Amino acid sequence: MAPPLLLTTAPLPACPDRGWPEAAPVSEAALAAAGGLLVPHDGGPAADLRERPDRWALLHLMTGALRRDVPLLAWGSGAALVGRALGAPVHAGHAGAPDWAEVPAAAEVHLQSPGGRPLHWTAGRATAWADPEVPPFLLAAFLAGLDTQRSRRPATPLETVGGEAALRAVLADFYARAARDPLLGPVFAAHVRDWAAHLDHVTAFWVTVLGGAGPGGEPAWRGNLNHVHAGLGLRGEHLARWLTLFAQAARAHLPPEAAEVLTSRAGAMGTRLGAQAAARRS
Protein backbone atom coordinates (compact mmCIF):
# COMPACT_ATOMS: atom_id res chain seq x y z
CA MET A 1 0.00 0.00 0.00
CA ALA A 2 1.33 3.44 -0.93
CA PRO A 3 1.95 5.85 1.94
CA PRO A 4 -0.83 8.37 2.50
CA LEU A 5 -0.45 11.73 0.75
CA LEU A 6 0.77 14.24 3.33
CA LEU A 7 0.15 17.96 2.76
CA THR A 8 1.38 21.07 4.53
CA THR A 9 0.18 24.67 4.66
CA ALA A 10 3.73 26.07 5.05
CA PRO A 11 7.32 24.92 4.46
CA LEU A 12 8.51 22.56 7.17
CA PRO A 13 11.59 23.42 9.25
CA ALA A 14 14.91 22.33 7.75
CA CYS A 15 15.86 20.02 10.62
CA PRO A 16 16.56 16.50 9.28
CA ASP A 17 17.33 15.21 12.77
CA ARG A 18 13.76 16.00 13.84
CA GLY A 19 12.35 13.45 11.39
CA TRP A 20 10.30 15.87 9.31
CA PRO A 21 8.47 13.98 6.56
CA GLU A 22 8.08 14.90 2.92
CA ALA A 23 4.90 16.91 2.42
CA ALA A 24 3.35 18.59 -0.60
CA PRO A 25 1.80 22.10 -0.57
CA VAL A 26 -1.87 22.03 0.27
CA SER A 27 -4.49 22.90 -2.34
CA GLU A 28 -8.22 22.39 -2.74
CA ALA A 29 -7.64 19.70 -5.36
CA ALA A 30 -5.00 17.89 -3.31
CA LEU A 31 -7.27 17.72 -0.24
CA ALA A 32 -9.56 15.29 -2.06
CA ALA A 33 -6.81 12.65 -1.91
CA ALA A 34 -5.01 13.77 1.25
CA GLY A 35 -4.07 11.26 3.92
CA GLY A 36 -2.97 13.95 6.40
CA LEU A 37 -2.37 17.68 6.76
CA LEU A 38 0.31 19.55 8.70
CA VAL A 39 -0.43 23.14 9.73
CA PRO A 40 2.89 24.51 11.05
CA HIS A 41 3.46 27.71 12.97
CA ASP A 42 4.08 30.45 10.40
CA GLY A 43 3.81 33.53 12.60
CA GLY A 44 0.72 34.79 10.81
CA PRO A 45 -2.42 36.09 12.51
CA ALA A 46 -5.42 34.00 13.48
CA ALA A 47 -7.39 36.44 15.63
CA ASP A 48 -7.59 39.45 13.29
CA LEU A 49 -7.83 38.51 9.62
CA ARG A 50 -8.99 41.88 8.31
CA GLU A 51 -7.35 42.72 4.99
CA ARG A 52 -5.67 39.30 4.96
CA PRO A 53 -7.22 37.35 2.08
CA ASP A 54 -4.31 34.91 2.26
CA ARG A 55 -5.28 33.92 5.81
CA TRP A 56 -8.96 33.62 4.88
CA ALA A 57 -7.95 31.33 2.00
CA LEU A 58 -5.89 29.22 4.41
CA LEU A 59 -8.79 29.08 6.85
CA HIS A 60 -11.04 27.91 4.01
CA LEU A 61 -8.62 25.09 3.18
CA MET A 62 -8.47 23.96 6.81
CA THR A 63 -12.26 24.01 7.03
CA GLY A 64 -12.33 21.78 3.96
CA ALA A 65 -9.86 19.38 5.55
CA LEU A 66 -11.92 19.20 8.74
CA ARG A 67 -15.10 18.66 6.75
CA ARG A 68 -13.41 15.80 4.90
CA ASP A 69 -12.18 14.35 8.21
CA VAL A 70 -8.55 14.50 7.06
CA PRO A 71 -6.14 13.78 9.96
CA LEU A 72 -4.56 17.12 10.88
CA LEU A 73 -1.70 18.26 13.13
CA ALA A 74 -1.35 21.98 13.82
CA TRP A 75 0.93 23.98 16.09
CA GLY A 76 1.54 27.60 17.04
CA SER A 77 -0.35 29.99 14.77
CA GLY A 78 -1.59 26.93 12.85
CA ALA A 79 -3.27 25.58 15.97
CA ALA A 80 -5.00 28.92 16.49
CA LEU A 81 -6.33 28.87 12.92
CA VAL A 82 -7.62 25.32 13.34
CA GLY A 83 -9.34 26.37 16.57
CA ARG A 84 -10.96 29.23 14.67
CA ALA A 85 -12.07 26.85 11.90
CA LEU A 86 -13.75 24.75 14.61
CA GLY A 87 -15.60 27.79 15.96
CA ALA A 88 -13.44 28.55 19.02
CA PRO A 89 -12.71 32.14 20.11
CA VAL A 90 -9.17 33.20 19.19
CA HIS A 91 -7.06 35.73 21.11
CA ALA A 92 -4.14 37.81 19.93
CA GLY A 93 -0.76 36.83 21.32
CA HIS A 94 1.45 39.25 23.20
CA ALA A 95 5.19 39.81 23.53
CA GLY A 96 6.00 37.69 20.51
CA ALA A 97 3.73 34.80 21.45
CA PRO A 98 1.43 33.48 18.69
CA ASP A 99 -2.32 33.97 18.67
CA TRP A 100 -4.09 31.23 20.58
CA ALA A 101 -7.49 29.57 20.49
CA GLU A 102 -9.75 28.55 23.31
CA VAL A 103 -10.81 24.92 23.39
CA PRO A 104 -13.33 24.16 20.61
CA ALA A 105 -16.63 22.57 21.52
CA ALA A 106 -16.37 18.79 22.00
CA ALA A 107 -12.55 18.93 22.00
CA GLU A 108 -10.53 17.08 24.63
CA VAL A 109 -7.76 18.94 26.50
CA HIS A 110 -4.70 16.82 27.24
CA LEU A 111 -2.35 19.47 28.64
CA GLN A 112 -2.57 23.06 29.84
CA SER A 113 0.14 25.69 30.11
CA PRO A 114 1.10 27.02 33.56
CA GLY A 115 -1.17 30.00 32.88
CA GLY A 116 -4.17 27.75 32.28
CA ARG A 117 -4.31 28.09 28.51
CA PRO A 118 -4.94 24.91 26.49
CA LEU A 119 -1.61 23.66 25.19
CA HIS A 120 -2.52 20.29 23.70
CA TRP A 121 -6.03 19.38 22.59
CA THR A 122 -7.71 17.08 20.09
CA ALA A 123 -11.05 17.28 18.27
CA GLY A 124 -11.91 14.29 16.10
CA ARG A 125 -8.88 13.76 13.86
CA ALA A 126 -7.49 17.25 14.55
CA THR A 127 -4.54 17.51 16.94
CA ALA A 128 -3.37 20.93 18.14
CA TRP A 129 -0.30 22.13 20.05
CA ALA A 130 -0.42 25.82 20.98
CA ASP A 131 3.35 26.49 21.21
CA PRO A 132 5.38 27.40 18.08
CA GLU A 133 7.49 24.22 18.37
CA VAL A 134 5.74 20.86 18.04
CA PRO A 135 7.20 18.13 20.30
CA PRO A 136 8.90 15.29 18.41
CA PHE A 137 6.78 12.68 20.19
CA LEU A 138 3.57 14.36 18.99
CA LEU A 139 4.78 14.57 15.39
CA ALA A 140 5.92 10.94 15.47
CA ALA A 141 2.61 9.74 16.93
CA PHE A 142 0.64 11.68 14.31
CA LEU A 143 2.67 10.29 11.41
CA ALA A 144 2.51 6.74 12.77
CA GLY A 145 -1.28 6.94 12.97
CA LEU A 146 -1.88 8.06 9.39
CA ASP A 147 -1.94 4.53 7.97
CA THR A 148 -4.72 3.61 10.39
CA GLN A 149 -6.89 6.65 9.58
CA ARG A 150 -7.50 6.30 5.87
CA SER A 151 -11.28 6.10 6.02
CA ARG A 152 -12.84 9.55 5.90
CA ARG A 153 -16.11 11.13 4.85
CA PRO A 154 -16.67 12.93 1.54
CA ALA A 155 -16.69 16.70 1.85
CA THR A 156 -19.42 17.31 -0.73
CA PRO A 157 -22.08 15.35 -2.61
CA LEU A 158 -19.87 15.81 -5.69
CA GLU A 159 -17.11 13.85 -3.96
CA THR A 160 -19.64 11.18 -3.00
CA VAL A 161 -20.54 10.56 -6.64
CA GLY A 162 -16.87 10.31 -7.62
CA GLY A 163 -16.09 13.83 -8.78
CA GLU A 164 -16.65 15.65 -12.04
CA ALA A 165 -15.36 12.82 -14.25
CA ALA A 166 -17.90 10.35 -12.87
CA LEU A 167 -20.66 12.95 -13.10
CA ARG A 168 -19.81 13.72 -16.75
CA ALA A 169 -20.00 10.01 -17.63
CA VAL A 170 -23.52 9.81 -16.16
CA LEU A 171 -24.66 12.92 -18.02
CA ALA A 172 -23.20 11.78 -21.34
CA ASP A 173 -25.02 8.46 -20.97
CA PHE A 174 -28.26 10.23 -20.05
CA TYR A 175 -28.16 12.50 -23.11
CA ALA A 176 -27.41 9.53 -25.37
CA ARG A 177 -30.53 7.84 -24.00
CA ALA A 178 -32.61 11.03 -24.20
CA ALA A 179 -31.62 11.73 -27.81
CA ARG A 180 -32.97 8.29 -28.81
CA ASP A 181 -36.13 8.57 -26.71
CA PRO A 182 -39.39 9.09 -28.67
CA LEU A 183 -40.73 11.58 -26.12
CA LEU A 184 -37.61 13.55 -25.12
CA GLY A 185 -35.61 13.23 -28.34
CA PRO A 186 -37.67 15.80 -30.31
CA VAL A 187 -37.44 18.32 -27.45
CA PHE A 188 -33.66 18.16 -27.34
CA ALA A 189 -33.36 18.11 -31.14
CA ALA A 190 -35.34 21.34 -31.32
CA HIS A 191 -33.28 23.22 -28.73
CA VAL A 192 -29.74 21.77 -28.66
CA ARG A 193 -27.42 22.54 -31.57
CA ASP A 194 -24.01 21.89 -29.97
CA TRP A 195 -24.14 18.74 -27.85
CA ALA A 196 -20.56 19.06 -26.59
CA ALA A 197 -21.17 22.62 -25.34
CA HIS A 198 -24.49 21.56 -23.83
CA LEU A 199 -22.81 18.72 -21.94
CA ASP A 200 -20.16 21.14 -20.62
CA HIS A 201 -22.86 23.58 -19.50
CA VAL A 202 -24.99 20.95 -17.77
CA THR A 203 -21.95 19.37 -16.13
CA ALA A 204 -21.02 22.77 -14.69
CA PHE A 205 -24.59 23.12 -13.39
CA TRP A 206 -24.47 19.76 -11.64
CA VAL A 207 -21.00 20.41 -10.23
CA THR A 208 -22.43 23.54 -8.58
CA VAL A 209 -25.58 21.77 -7.35
CA LEU A 210 -23.45 19.07 -5.75
CA GLY A 211 -21.23 21.50 -3.86
CA GLY A 212 -18.31 21.69 -6.27
CA ALA A 213 -16.62 24.75 -7.70
CA GLY A 214 -14.75 25.98 -10.75
CA PRO A 215 -10.95 25.87 -11.13
CA GLY A 216 -10.51 29.10 -9.17
CA GLY A 217 -12.98 28.22 -6.40
CA GLU A 218 -15.80 30.23 -8.01
CA PRO A 219 -19.22 28.67 -8.75
CA ALA A 220 -18.93 26.51 -11.87
CA TRP A 221 -22.39 27.61 -13.05
CA ARG A 222 -24.52 30.71 -12.60
CA GLY A 223 -28.04 30.94 -13.88
CA ASN A 224 -31.75 30.40 -13.26
CA LEU A 225 -32.98 26.84 -13.72
CA ASN A 226 -36.62 27.86 -14.18
CA HIS A 227 -35.72 30.51 -16.77
CA VAL A 228 -33.62 28.04 -18.78
CA HIS A 229 -36.52 25.55 -19.02
CA ALA A 230 -39.40 28.04 -19.29
CA GLY A 231 -39.77 27.91 -23.08
CA LEU A 232 -39.46 24.17 -23.60
CA GLY A 233 -43.13 23.31 -23.14
CA LEU A 234 -42.36 20.61 -20.60
CA ARG A 235 -45.24 18.67 -19.09
CA GLY A 236 -45.50 16.03 -16.42
CA GLU A 237 -44.85 13.18 -18.83
CA HIS A 238 -41.61 14.81 -20.01
CA LEU A 239 -40.32 15.23 -16.47
CA ALA A 240 -41.27 11.66 -15.52
CA ARG A 241 -39.41 10.29 -18.54
CA TRP A 242 -36.40 12.52 -17.80
CA LEU A 243 -36.21 11.18 -14.26
CA THR A 244 -36.49 7.57 -15.47
CA LEU A 245 -33.66 7.93 -17.99
CA PHE A 246 -31.54 9.91 -15.55
CA ALA A 247 -31.92 7.20 -12.89
CA GLN A 248 -31.00 4.51 -15.44
CA ALA A 249 -27.82 6.36 -16.41
CA ALA A 250 -26.86 7.02 -12.78
CA ARG A 251 -27.30 3.37 -11.79
CA ALA A 252 -25.35 2.21 -14.83
CA HIS A 253 -22.25 4.17 -13.80
CA LEU A 254 -22.33 4.69 -10.04
CA PRO A 255 -22.54 2.62 -6.84
CA PRO A 256 -26.04 2.59 -5.28
CA GLU A 257 -25.26 5.27 -2.66
CA ALA A 258 -23.78 7.64 -5.22
CA ALA A 259 -26.63 7.04 -7.68
CA GLU A 260 -29.12 7.83 -4.92
CA VAL A 261 -27.42 11.19 -4.31
CA LEU A 262 -27.95 12.15 -7.95
CA THR A 263 -31.45 10.76 -8.36
CA SER A 264 -32.74 12.38 -5.17
CA ARG A 265 -31.43 15.78 -6.32
CA ALA A 266 -32.94 15.22 -9.76
CA GLY A 267 -36.28 14.28 -8.20
CA ALA A 268 -36.41 17.47 -6.16
CA MET A 269 -35.45 19.46 -9.24
CA GLY A 270 -38.19 17.78 -11.30
CA THR A 271 -40.78 18.62 -8.65
CA ARG A 272 -39.82 22.31 -8.76
CA LEU A 273 -39.82 22.43 -12.56
CA GLY A 274 -43.20 20.69 -12.69
CA ALA A 275 -44.72 23.17 -10.26
CA GLN A 276 -43.35 26.11 -12.25
CA ALA A 277 -44.66 24.67 -15.53
CA ALA A 278 -48.11 24.11 -14.04
CA ALA A 279 -48.17 27.68 -12.71
CA ARG A 280 -47.34 29.08 -16.15
CA ARG A 281 -50.18 27.11 -17.77
CA SER A 282 -52.76 28.17 -15.19
Please give the model's pTM, rounded to 2 decimal places. 0.58
Cα-to-chain-centroid distance, residue 205 = 17
- The whole-number pLDDT of residue 1 equals 47
Quick one: 133 and 180 in the same domain?
no
Angstrom distance (rounded) from CA 280 to CA 282: 6
β-sheet bridge partners, residue 31:
none
Name the DSSP letter for residue 148: G
Which range marks the domain in which residue 218 is found? 157-281
Quick one: 135 and 185 in the same domain?
no
Q: What is the pLDDT along the chain (282 residues), one digit of tens a residue?
A: 456 689 999 988 765 556 678 899 998 878 877 889 999 999 999 999 999 999 999 998 888 888 888 999 999 999 999 999 999 999 998 878 899 999 999 899 999 988 888 999 999 999 999 999 999 899 989 988 886 555 455 667 888 888 888 889 999 999 899 889 999 888 888 888 888 888 888 888 888 888 876 665 555 556 655 555 545 556 778 888 889 999 999 999 988 888 998 899 888 887 877 666 555 555
Contacts of 251-258 with C-beta under 8 Å, sequence gap 24+, read 252/170, 252/173, 253/166, 253/169, 253/170, 253/173, 254/161, 254/162, 254/166, 254/170, 257/160, 258/160, 258/161, 258/162, 258/166
Quick one: 208 and 180 in the same domain?
yes
Quick one: 21 and 141 in the same domain?
yes
Quick one: 164 and 249 in the same domain?
yes
Element (H, E) at 271: helix 256-281
CATH code for the domain of 180: 1.10.490.10
Quick one: 40 and 97 in the same domain?
yes
Quick one: 78 and 130 in the same domain?
yes
Quick one: 191 and 67 in the same domain?
no
The residues, any chain, with a CB within 8 Å of residue 193's CB and separated by 6 or more, are none
Domains held by the chain: number: 2
Quick one: 187 and 72 in the same domain?
no
C-beta separation of 77 from 45 below 8 A: yes
- The whole-number pLDDT of residue 133 equals 92
Angstrom distance (rounded) from CA 126 to CA 122: 6
**SS3 of 262, please?**
helix
Quick one: 118 and 214 in the same domain?
no
The domain boundary residue, chosen from 130, 148, 166: 148
β-sheet bridge partners, residue 37:
7, 72
The domain boundary residue, chosen from 92, 121, 148: 148
Q: What are phi and psi of 172, to 5 degrees?
A: -65, -40
Quick one: 43 and 136 in the same domain?
yes
Quick one: 9 and 143 in the same domain?
yes
The domain boundary residue, chosen from 84, 116, 148: 148
Of 143, 10, 125, which Cα lies nearest the Cα of 77? 10
CATH code for the domain of 125: 3.40.50.880
